[in-house]
Amino acid sequence: MSPDAVYLVEMNEEHFPTRFLEVNTVRCERFGYSRDELLSMPFPKIDSQNSTTFKRTVERIREGKRSFTLQDEFVFIKTGKKNK
């Protein structure tokens, strides 16, 4: 099992992430949601669209990156916990 939060997202025609297609267990644990919850929620509801992580994710996707790593600190919306 990967120690990293790994996920696959669907994008719209503007290359904006719209929803999760797949998530690993670590991603679920860090966000405080079950796999089914994450897969049923719109991507923008998971993290604030003003967060550095969200902006960097969208930026990388729009640059055409298909795979990338982010190492940011942010607060999870559901749990209020900080990721380091």
Does residue 79 sit within a domain?
A: yes
1 within some domain? no
Residue 64, domain member (yes or no):
yes
Question: Coil, helix or strand for 28?
Answer: helix
The confidence score (pLDDT) of residue 36 equals 95
pLDDT confidence of residue 30: 79
Q: How many C-beta atoms lie closer than 10 Å to residue 36's C-beta?
A: 9
- Asked whether 50 and 16 are in contact (CB, 8 A), the reply is no
Closest CA to 46 of 59, 61, 60, 33: 33
In a domain, 11, yes or no: yes
Question: What is the mean pLDDT of each successive set of 10 residues along the chain, which is 84 residues long?
Answer: 78 84 87 91 75 78 76 57 56
Q: What is the pLDDT of residue 78?
A: 62
| pTM of the shown model | 0.66
2 within a domain of the structure (yes/no): no
Distance (Å, whole) CA 64 – CA 66: 6
Phi/psi at 57 (5° precision): -65, -50
